[in-house]
């Protein structure tokens, strides 16, 4: 895999640029660098090296290492499956891949039991994972079953060819019917566990939103949200920055914790639809996931208050 550094990436870390452009986790890129499988202008370089416009980054990934993750018999809601990929309706509360504090019970554990082997290009701790949803976000996800499918899907995410629709319930009633947010997102300057539009080195992030329903009696609105990019916590950060924090979001909704019609133990965000080109058949596919029980109950109570 090879890429030329553009003006927008100049001055950033080597591992940061390579991870974003190759569609793999930053930790994986760092492992490549340590093992000599990542080069900058034909020579090995540290992951922290700053790149310049016109630099050539080349990666020659080693063969995937078997995942040290145990398969677990965890029920999955499968929307579609074939030899190349599997599309799921992820429940709220499920972590996508193992991490400190979440060694088991993850989507990857469930997938390894359901599918057997999966692609290792995404790193040994999250085989097959092309994109992810936050633990508290429910809805549609696609997972690759082999490396070719993984690369093809990752490229569609990188070039923004993926169609994504989220539904979000926010603690605000916007006057406008729709809007576009174009604010770079990066690590919060003081809290490294949070993302923010106030950051030293933010990455391009764009989000479109449209009001689907206003609930004046509750001070809440339901939005249809279409992110053009896929930054960490993008929807939550962007909407909060505009004074529209998600209902139930205690991380980015601080100061907006008034009691709602339903107590949610997670941000009110649902990945309602996902569309992409099948990596093998080249057919355009589209999948939808209905509301989970907590958001369905939220809708019922909001409607009841209005009447």
Q: What is the three-class DSSP state of 92?
A: coil
Average pLDDT taken over every residue of the chain: 87
The highest-level CATH class for domain 165-271+294-306 is alpha beta
Measured distance CA(105)–CA(88) in Å, rounded: 16
Q: 101-104: long-range contacts (C-beta < 8 A, 24 or more apart)? A: 104/70, 104/72
CA 81, 161, 279, 158 torsion-angle sign: negative
pLDDT tens, residue by residue, 42-89: 898 899 999 999 999 998 877 655 556 788 999 999 999 999 999 999
CATH number of 2-59: 3.10.290.10
- Report yes or no: 261 and 299 within 8 Å, Cβ to Cβ: no
pLDDT tens, residue by residue, 241-275: 999 999 999 889 865 554 566 678 899 999 999 99
In sequence order, the 6+-apart residues with CB closer than 8 A to the CB of 98 are: 69, 104, 106, 108, 109, 125, 126
**Fold match between domain 2-59 and domain 165-271+294-306:** no
Which residue among the candidates 55, 89, 134, 249 is catalytic per the annotation? 134
Residue 260: per-residue pLDDT: 60
Q: What is the pTM of this model?
A: 0.77
Measured distance CA(280)–CA(8) in Å, rounded: 32
pLDDT tens, residue by residue, 85-143: 999 999 999 988 777 667 788 998 899 889 876 755 545 545 678 888 999 999 999 99
Our measurement of the distance from residue 234's CA atom to the centroid of its chain's CA atoms, rounded to an integer in Å, reads 8
Residue 255: per-residue pLDDT: 52
Give catalytic status of residue 134 as yes or no. Answer: yes
**Spans of all domains in the chain:** 2-59, 165-271+294-306
Alpha helices (H) in 159-279, listed in sequence order? 234-241
């Amino acid at each position: 895999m090879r890429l030329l550094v553009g003006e927008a990436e100049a001055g950033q870390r080597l591992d940061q640029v390579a991870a974003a452009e190759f569609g793999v986790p930053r930790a994986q890129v760092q492992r490549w660098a340590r093992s000599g499988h990542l080069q900058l202008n034909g020579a090995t370089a540290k992951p922290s090296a700053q790149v310049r416009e016109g630099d050539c980054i080349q990666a020659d990934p080693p063969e995937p290492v078997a995942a040290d993750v145990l398969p677990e018999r965890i029920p999955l809601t499968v929307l579609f499956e074939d030899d190349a990929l599997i599309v799921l309706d992820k429940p709220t509360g499920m972590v996508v891949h193992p991490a400190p504090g979440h060694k088991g019970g993850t989507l990857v554990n469930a997938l390894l039991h359901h599918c057997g082997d999966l692609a290792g290009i995404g790193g040994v701790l999250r085989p097959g994972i092309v994109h992810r949803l936050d633990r508290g976000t429910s809805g549609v996800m696609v997972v690759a079953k082999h490396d070719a499918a993984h690369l093809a899907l990752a490229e569609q995410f990188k070039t923004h060819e993926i169609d994504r629709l989220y539904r979000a319930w926010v603690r605000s009633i916007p006057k406008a019917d729709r809007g576009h947010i174009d604010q770079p997102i990066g690590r919060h300057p003081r809290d490294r566990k949070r993302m923010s539009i106030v950051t030293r080195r933010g990455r391009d992030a764009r989000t479109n939103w449209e009001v689907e329903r206003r609930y004046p009696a509750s001070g809440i609105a339901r939005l249809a949200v279409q992110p053009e990019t896929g930054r960490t916590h993008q929807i939550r950060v962007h909407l909060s920055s505009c004074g529209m924090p998600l209902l139930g979001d205690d991380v980015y909704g601080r100061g907006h914790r008034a009691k709602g019609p339903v107590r949610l133990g997670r941000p009110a965000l649902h990945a309602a639809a996902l569309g992409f080109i099948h990596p093998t058949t080249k057919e355009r596919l589209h999948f939808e996931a209905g509301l989970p029980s907590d958001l369905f109950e939220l809708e019922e109570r909001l409607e009841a208050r209005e009447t």
